Amino acid sequence: MSTSPSSASPQVNAAYYDGQTAASRAVVLSVDGSDLVLRGASFELRWPLHEVQVSERLGSTPRLLAHAVDGHCEVSDQAGLEKLLAQTGKSLDWLERMQHSLPWALAAVVLLVVSFAAAYRYLLPWGAEVLALRMPDAVLQKMGSSTLEALDKFALKPSKLDAARQQELADEFERLQALPDTRFKYRIIFRSAPEMGANAFALPDGTIVMLDELVALTPDDNEIIAVLEHERGHVERRHAMRMVLQSSAVGLVMTWYLGDVSSLLAAAPAIIAQAKYSRDMEREADEYAERALQLNALSPCLLATILDKLEAAHLAAMKTENQPPVAGPEKHTATMDYLSSHPATQERIGLLCPAR
């Protein structure tokens, strides 16, 4: 003889499917002891609670209560079902409660935003560095040549330095003893770009472009050598390649998973031409130049001195353009000079030459 469910037990309406036909029958669900009771117009079923599988809540979609043998029920009354489930020990778990809680939902949105920001700040640079260090030489050479071709077409002019002077500077750089971990072969080429001001920049393949305006800035060739060593530091640390990868998230993913570098090669000239090295990258290049200069019995103060001259030239260029002096490494003028993306010059000078 079966007992009737307690009158205090929550009840909820459901549609019962017996698994034999597509038709549904209306039932009322309740809990009686360790059983889930399904009461229809002319029948009653009892399912042991441990045999009942309850689907997760998904918005207003009907929930399913399934039995391995006797079919399943569909329940649209979410609130009523939760009251019933509370009697069975099958109530919402902590994760489901979080999903349907406004405070937790807002917290999840904040966490998502923070996660994306952290990935952009830390994960993207890390991935770019890992890939840059593994990039085949053939890709670096192609990227260097295509970037130089684009710059020659749109920004650079032939150098006005006589061939003997160009060769003299190139030979001085060639005679330097390289650091033991140096892996690139370097070539120095000369161009002119008055609108860029005193500048030098390195391409991913080891090509260093020296502008006439930088040569004219100082009579001391050792100061020019210091700049070249700084640029060599950018190449050895793969900074240009890392910037290209960081600037193109799609390119980074394509390279990481598929080994497809075509999108990187297409984007590289524009990205490298507007290089904005991070403060950490600039410090790495400064530290590389410091070690290289010391290896060749030259003082790191040479780089500090030329940085001082570059800053003075930068300020003079801004006055000529009627622009106010700008503090901070991220501010730019129409003059794309050597300091446009570098950390605070005096900070760098202090690290390179503390005695100044």
Positive/negative CA dihedral, 122, 128, 131, 132: negative
304 and 249 assigned to the same domain: yes
223 within some domain = yes
Share of the chain above pLDDT 90, in %: 47
155 within some domain = yes
Per the structure block, which two tokens stand in for 21? Answer: 């036909």
Write the pLDDT tens digit of every residue in 162-189: 999 999 999 999 999 999 989 999 999 9
* CA 98 from centroid of its chain's CA atoms: 29
Write the pLDDT tens digit of every residue in 24-66: 999 999 999 889 999 999 999 999 998 998 887 777 789 999 9
In the chain, % helix, strand, coil (3-state, to 5) comes to 50, 15, 35
101 within some domain = no
Of residues 242 and 252, the one with the higher pLDDT is 242
Query: Domain of 54: which CATH number?
Result: 2.30.29.30
Average pLDDT for 199-218: 95
173 and 322 assigned to the same domain: yes
Q: Alpha-carbon dihedral of residues 328, 275, 188, 145, nearest 10 degrees?
A: 180
Write the pLDDT tens digit of every residue in 316-335: 877 776 665 544 434 433 33
Among 92, 112, 143, give the residue marking a domain's end. Answer: 92
Q: How far apart are CA 243 and CA 10, in angstroms?
A: 63
79 and 150 assigned to the same domain: no
41 within some domain = yes
Average pLDDT for 236-261: 71
* Domain housing 301: 135-352
Average pLDDT for 94-108: 64
DSSP string, 256-306: III---HHHHHHHHHHHHT----HHHHHHHHHHHHHHHHHTT--THHHHHH
Least Cα distance to 237 among 281, 268, 202, 267 occurs for 281
219 and 294 assigned to the same domain: yes
183 and 60 assigned to the same domain: no
Rg (CA), the chain: 35
Q: How many CB atoms lie within 10 A of CB 207?
A: 21
Q: Which residue has the tokens 């085949």?
A: 136
226 within some domain = yes
168 and 302 assigned to the same domain: yes
Query: H helices of 184-278, where?
Result: 212-215, 221-236, 239-247, 249-253, 262-273
Count of domains in the chain?
A: 2
65 within some domain = yes
Average pLDDT for 263-267: 71
Per the structure block, which two tokens stand in for 122? Answer: 């830390």
Among 59, 92, 125, give the residue marking a domain's end. Answer: 92
229 within some domain = yes
Average pLDDT for 266-275: 74
38 and 155 assigned to the same domain: no
Give the DSSP H/E element, type plus range, for residue 67: strand 63-67
71 within some domain = yes
pLDDT reported for residue 274: 73
Per the structure block, which two tokens stand in for 352? Answer: 């390179």
Least Cα distance to 264 among 188, 219, 210, 204 occurs for 204
290 and 161 assigned to the same domain: yes
pLDDT reported for residue 73: 96
pLDDT reported for residue 156: 94
The mean predicted confidence, pLDDT, of the chain is 83
85 and 152 assigned to the same domain: no
Share of the chain above pLDDT 70, in %: 79
pLDDT band at 119 (very low <50, low <70, confident <90, very high): low
Which DSSP letter does residue 112 get? H
169 and 289 assigned to the same domain: yes
69 and 203 assigned to the same domain: no
Residue 203, pLDDT > 60, answer yes
Residue 12 has phi, psi (to 5 degrees) of: -145, 140
Q: How far apart are CA 161 and CA 153, in angstroms?
A: 20
160 and 83 assigned to the same domain: no
What is the pTM assigned to this prediction?
A: 0.63
Q: Which residue has the tokens 């072969």?
A: 185
pLDDT reported for residue 328: 42
Residue 3, pLDDT > 80, answer no
- Mean pLDDT check: name the lowest of 13-17, 47-51, 257-261: 257-261
pLDDT reported for residue 71: 93
Max alpha carbon distance in the chain (Å)? 113
Q: How far apart are CA 53 and CA 68, in angstroms?
A: 9
Q: How many CB atoms lie within 10 A of CB 122?
A: 10
